Amino acid sequence: MAVMEHAVHNPTGIDEKPLEYRDPNQSVKILGFWLFLATDMLLFGCLFATYLVVRTHTDGGPTPQQLFDIPGFTLETFFLLTSSFTGGLSTLAMRNGNRKWLMTWLAVTILLGLAFIGFEVKEFVGDVAVGATMQRSAFLSAFFTLVGTHGSHVSIGLVWMFLTLLQVARRGITKVTARKVFVVNLYWHFLDVVWVFIFTIVYLSGRVM
C-alpha cells in the first residue's frame, strides 16, 4: 500500500529484519493481523467462558465423561500440533529463500490439517449418532459451538494456506508472498494455541472432572 513511503524515512537496521518485515507496506499488514488475532482471541475467550459456565448443564443427556474419546482427541491433537511445527518449518524455508521446501512444508501442513478436520468431523458424526446433538443440552450447545468454531477456523485456514501455496508456486518468494506465508502461519499457530486450551479445558478436564 502506497501511503507508507514516509515510513522509510527512519530505516534503522532495515536489512537485519526478517524478510517479511523488510517492506514497511507489508509490515503494517502484519501489525494489523496481530490486532485481528487479539480480537479473535477474545472471541474464543468468550466461547471458553460460556463453555465453563454451562459445562455441567447436561439436562440428563450425555456428559463429557461419556462423550469424549481419548484416542480420538489425542490423535486430533497430534495432527494439529505437528502441522503447526511443519508450518513453522515453512516459515524458516521462506526466510532462507528456499522455495521448494517452503512449498513442501506448506503442503505437509495442509495434509495434516485435513487429517485433523477429518477426525474432528468423524468425532462429531459419532456424537450425533448417539444422540449428542447441539440441541440436546446447554453443555452440548457450548461444546459444539466452541470446538466447531475452532474447526471452521482451521477449515478457512486450509483454504487460505492452499491459496498461499498457489501464489508461491506462481510468483516465487517475493516481499508480498513472504508476508502472506508469514501471516497464514501466524494464524495457524494461533489456532494451535487455541486447540491447546480446548484440549485441556474441554477434553482433558472433561474426562477427569
For another protein, the binding residues (CB under 8 A) are 1-7, 9-10, 24, 27-29, 31-32, 35-36, 38-40, 42-43, 45-47, 49-50, 52-54, 56-59, 134-139, 141-142, 144-145, 159-160, 163-164, 166-167, 171, 176
In the complex, the smallest distance separating the C-beta of residue 168 from another protein, rounded to whole angstroms, is: 12
Give the residue with the Cβ less far from another protein, 40 or 69.
40
CA 148 to chain centre: 12
Nearer residue to another protein within complex by CB, 77 or 150: 150
Q: E-assigned strands of 106-198?
A: none
Task: Kindly report the length of the chain.
Answer: 209
Q: Which three cell numbers stand for residue 125?
A: 458424526
CB of 30: closest distance to another protein in angstroms?
10
Could you tell me the smallest distance in angstroms from the CB atom of residue 38 to another protein?
6
For the stretch 103-128, what's the b/e string if a residue is b when 16 or more beta carbons lie within 10 angstroms of its beta carbon? Answer: bbbbebbbebbebbbebbeebbeebe
> Smaller CB distance to another protein: residue 1 or 208?
1
Record the cell numbers describing residue 21, joined without a space: 518485515
Nearest distance in Å: CB 2, another protein: 2
Residue 190 near residue 41 (C-beta atoms within 8 A): yes
C-alpha cell at 28: 503494517
CB of 192 to another protein, least distance (A): 20
Contact predicate 178/158, CB 8 Å: no
Q: Which is nearer to another protein, 119 or 186 (CB)?
A: 186
